[in-house]
Amino acid sequence: MSFFKDALSMFKKRDLLFLESYKESEDVYTFLFEKENDLSWIAGQHGLFTITHKKVKNKTRPFTVAAAPAENVVRITMRISENPSDFKKAMLELKQGMKINMTGPIGSFSLKDNSPSLLIAGGIGITPFRSILKQIESEGNGIGKPIHLLYLDSNKSFIFKDELDAIANNTSISVTYLDLRDDLNQEIDLFTTLNKDDGKYFIAGPKSMVKSVSDFLKSKHIPKKNIKKDAFYGY
């Protein structure tokens, strides 16, 4: 069913009006776009964003919509190195009033039931979880399941930390910040011991990190159906 929904979403294209951009950390930038009234998404989904104000090679890239559907803005957040791609250079050149094109939203990386959930973010992989947790906060109906976010960042930059801490203070969601992989594995072990096969596991981050964590979970006999992955390419 998700495949057919995604296929239909691929025909939904619209221009987004650029509002502003700012730095989250030394090499992470957030870009905000106007949200039209008929645009919505499920927290955790992504869109395909296309540069339209100049000609660039590989003009379309997938990015998580890092805003919650309840927020009145489209937010994408990305890491931009000292030698960025033509796409990211074009993003930095956006001026207020310019537009980019969005296809979608698509994807099934979302919380859907009341199972205990472990959210595992690696670096920039925090973006879908920001959307998911901000949406839970906005609904304000309480949480019927334990949700624990593990945020691994070897650079200790921890973007969105203030927002995540505020969510944790106002809900039953818990957040643990980590900078060592061994510590991440220990936290995962603790969750799997407490929840066994009832737990659901959501992993987002660079492709190598997602694969490594997924393999670790499988080595703990976590059923494949309980693991959802969102691998970020190019990092």
Tokens found for residue 90: 């074009």
Per the domain annotation, does 213 fall within a domain?
A: yes
Which of 49, 82, 106 is the endpoint of a domain?
106
What's the pTM?
0.91
- CA neighbor of 119 nearest in space, from 198, 200, 218: 200
Is 143 found in the same domain as 65? no
Domain that holds residue 90: 2-106
Q: In this structure, what CATH number is given to the domain that contains residue 130?
A: 3.40.50.80
Tokens found for residue 214: 């997924």
- CA neighbor of 132 nearest in space, from 114, 116, 119: 119
Tokens found for residue 177: 């910040």
C-alpha 201/C-alpha 188 separation (Å) is 10
Which of 58, 73, 106 is the endpoint of a domain?
106
Per the domain annotation, does 62 fall within a domain?
A: yes
Per the domain annotation, does 111 fall within a domain?
A: no
Phi, psi of 38 (to 5 degrees): -90, 5
Is 125 found in the same domain as 89? no
Beta bridge partners of residue 13, listed in sequence order: 103
Question: For each of the chain's 235 residues, which pLDDT tens digit applies?
Answer: 454 455 555 557 999 999 999 999 999 999 999 999 899 999 999 999 999 999 998 999 999 999 999 999 999 999 999 999 999 999 999 999 999 999 999 999 998 878 899 999 999 999 999 999 999 988 875 566 789 999 999 999 999 999 999 999 877 899 999 999 999 999 999 999 998 778 999 999 999 999 999 999 999 999 999 999 998 876 5
